[in-house]
Copies of this chain bind each other. A is one copy, B any other.
Amino acid sequence: MPNGIPAEVKEAARIARALSHPARLQILNELRDGGAYVMHLTAVLGRPQANISQHLMVLREADLVTAEREGMTVIYHVRNPHVLDVVDQLLVLARERAEAHRMDDVMVGVEELDGLRGKRQRRRKGKCRCPRCREEG
């Protein structure tokens, strides 16, 4: 092997790669307390189910999350809670950069597009029927 890159550094880079998409950061955020069901993630993130599943696959292959079946549904957990520390640190960094640059640009107003895109598997935010959200109702 030509490259003298320590295995740890390679692995750290792979982890960072798995964290390098907003949807995956949001997913990990949702897994904080007690994990989350896939249907919950699709409801909260407002993305198509297939897309959520694809991002979950990335997180699985990076060994950042675990998946267990519970009958018809699947619940995901973070494998090592330390990954949430990294997520937090990234968010801290992001906020500090925003403050430093006084960037008040926003990407809002996209919620309206939810109504326009009546696509197939897309679900609306806030209407989750996953076991956990159900028992809280």
Show the binding face of A for B, using Cβ within 8 Å: 1-17, 19-26, 45-47, 63, 80, 82-83, 85-87, 89-98, 100-101, 103, 105-108, 110-111, 113-114, 125
Cα(A45)–Cα(B28), bound, Å: 32
Q: Which among B5, B80, B93, B113 is the interface contact of A15 at CB below 8 angstroms?
A: B93
Are B113's CB and A8's CB within 8 A?
Answer: yes
Are B94's CB and A8's CB within 8 A?
Answer: yes
Indicate whether A45 sits within 8 Å of B3 (C-beta atoms), given known contacts A20-B16, A93-B82, A94-B12: yes
Cα(A12)–Cα(B82), bound, Å: 17
Chain B residues in 8 Å Cβ range of A105: 7
A-B residue pairs, 7 tightest by C-beta: A11-B94, A17-B20, A12-B90, A16-B19, A16-B20, A12-B94, A8-B94
Indicate whether A46 sits within 8 Å of B3 (C-beta atoms), given known contacts A63-B97, A80-B96, A97-B80: yes
Indicate whether A5 sits within 8 Å of B20 (C-beta atoms), given known contacts A15-B90, A82-B96, A86-B90: no
> Taking the nearest CB of chain B, how far is it from the CB of A86, in angstroms?
5
Indicate whether A20 sits within 8 Å of B13 (C-beta atoms), given known contacts A80-B96, A86-B93, A110-B3: yes
